Structure 1
C-alpha cells in the first residue's frame, strides 16, 4: 500500500509473508491468492504491498529460471500486489516444529548467506514496481554471539565487502538500488 509522506515522497507499507509457510514457488503463489489478494480487497485498495519471504530454494529457482520469475511477476500484477522488500532472514525451514538457533544459519561467516542475500536482491530488482527505483532486503544479524572468533569476524567482514560490491554491481546493471537491512536480535552480533 502506498502512502504519501508530507514531504511528497511515497512511503510503501507492506506486511511480511514469513507468517505463512511456503518453501516452494507453488506455496508462494498460493499465499498470494489465499492471503495477499483477499487482504487487498478487504482494505479496498487497488494495490497492496507484501514483503515476500522467499526460502532459499525458491530464490534459487527464481534466479535460475526466467519463466518462473515471470510467472511470479504476472501473479503479483494480476492480484494487485507489489513487492518492494524481501525477507532474507530465515534461510529455509522457518515453519519447522523447532527453529530456535537454527534460524541464524547460515550466518554471515558462511558463503551461502552472502549468495542467498545477493540472489534475493537480484530477484527483488526484477519484482519492483516499474516506478520504484529502490527496494530493500532484510537479513539476520552477523551471527549468534557464541562462538565468535577473530577468524569468524574476518569471514563476516569479507562477506559484507562482497555484499557491498554485489549490490553496487546490481545497481549499475539495473538502475535500481537494493538496500540490505540487518535485523538486530537478542543474543546476536551486529
Structure 2
C-alpha cells in the first residue's frame, strides 16, 4: 500500500510453504483478511518470498497467469521479493544453511536472475523493483583470510553477472530492478561499514571495468549503473544488533551515492545486563525461552569499554552470561515489532522508530517491508493468528509513520 514515504508491505516468508502451491494457498487464505484490516480502500503490495522450487513452478506460464489474475482480483501487487533463503525456511533446521548455496555458486546467481524475471512480469508500471539477498556467504565457512577473500571475490563476480542481466532488462523494458544486499550477523558482510567498504573496494573495483567493457561504456557510466542496480537492504534488526548508528550510516551512504533498496522493518531482542548476579540469572532464564533449533540467533554483547563480543548463536551466549564486563545483549531473534517488552527482555523497537522518522523526514527508499518470520517458533504467549499478527504490525508502522 502507498504510505506517506513509500510502499509498505509484509514479507510472505512468515507463511510456511515448501513449493508454489503451498505458498499460493497461504496467500489466498490470509491476504484478504490482512488487506481488509490494513488497506481496505486501496491496492496493497506483497513482499513475495519464493524458494528455488517455488520460483521454478511460478515460472510456468499457466501458474504465472493464474497468480497475476489473482493479484488483479484482490487489488494486490508485487514490488519486492525476498531472495535470501534458497530452500526450505520453516519446519526444518535452517541455521547457517540459510546462506546455502551462497554467492560463490552459479546456483545462487541463476536463482536470483529467475526471481528478477518473475518480478519483471509482476511489477506495476512506473515502479522500481527489488530482490533482497544474502550478504555473500556465511563467514565461518572459511578457515582463513585467503579463503575468506577468495569467497568474497567469487561472490562479487557472480553479483556483477546479475547486474549485467538487470542492465539488459532495463534496456528492454525501462524497468529499474535492483539487487538489495542484506548484511546480517556472521555474514561475509556483517555491518553497514562492511557493506560500504565492499561496495567501494570490491564491487566497484571489479565491476566498473567489466560493465564498461561489456556494454561499451565509460567508467563513469558503468559506476552509475552499478549504483542503480546494487543497493543495500536495510534490515533494522540486523543493524540494531550491531549497535550501529542509523543516521551516520545513512549519511555515508548518501555521500557515496549508494542507494537503500528496501527497509526490512524488524526487531531484535535485547536486555540490560548491568545488574546483580540474580538479575543476570533471571535474564538468562528469559532468553533461554527463545533458544530454539530452527534459526540462528546470534548475540552481540556490549562491554563496559564499548567493544563488542559476537556469539554465533544463543546457546554459547547463554553459557557466557556471567561475564561481568558485559552490560547489554542483543540477539538475532525477529520478534513482533509492535511489542516493546516481553518479560525481562525488551525489543529494539526504538531503532525502528528512529529509522522510520528518518525515512519520513527525508525518504531514502520507496520500499518498506515488515519481516517477522519467526511466527512458528515464538513462545506461545506471543502468538496470535497469523493474519492478525501481520495486520497489527502493518498498522503499527502506519501509525508510527503518521
8 A Cα contact 1:133 1:175, kept in partner: no
Matched, 1:100 2:100: no
- Which residue number in structure 1 is paired with residue 3 of structure 2? 3
Gaps of 5+ in 1: 6-10
* 1:132 Cα deviation after fit: 3.1
- The structure 1 segments of at least 4 consecutive aligned residues displaced by more than 3 Å after TM superposition are none
8 A Cα contact 2:152 2:188, kept in partner: no
- Which residue number in structure 2 is paired with residue 144 of structure 1? 138
* Aligned counterpart in structure 2 of residue 34 of structure 1, from 24, 29, 51: 29
Gaps of 5+ in 2: 190-402
The separation in 1 between residues aligned to 2:53 and 2:85, in whole angstroms, is 12
If the length of structure 1 is used for normalisation, what is the TM-score?
0.90
* Aligned counterpart in structure 2 of residue 85 of structure 1, from 64, 80, 86: 80
* Aligned counterpart in structure 2 of residue 58 of structure 1, from 54, 57, 78: 54
* 1:153 Cα deviation after fit: 2.7
The separation in 1 between residues aligned to 2:122 and 2:87, in whole angstroms, is 21
Change in 2 beyond 3 A, CA 1:73/1:187: same
If the length of structure 2 is used for normalisation, what is the TM-score?
0.44
The separation in 1 between residues aligned to 2:10 and 2:151, in whole angstroms, is 33
* Aligned counterpart in structure 2 of residue 71 of structure 1, from 40, 47, 66: 66
- Secondary structure of 1:40's counterpart equals helix
* Aligned counterpart in structure 2 of residue 120 of structure 1, from 115, 120, 123: 115
Matched, 1:133 2:132: no
Change in 2 beyond 3 A, CA 1:179/1:27: same
Change in 2 beyond 3 A, CA 1:99/1:174: same
CA RMSD of aligned residues (A): 1.5
Could you tell which deviates more after superposition, 19-28 or 49-58? 19-28
* 1:54 Cα deviation after fit: 0.7
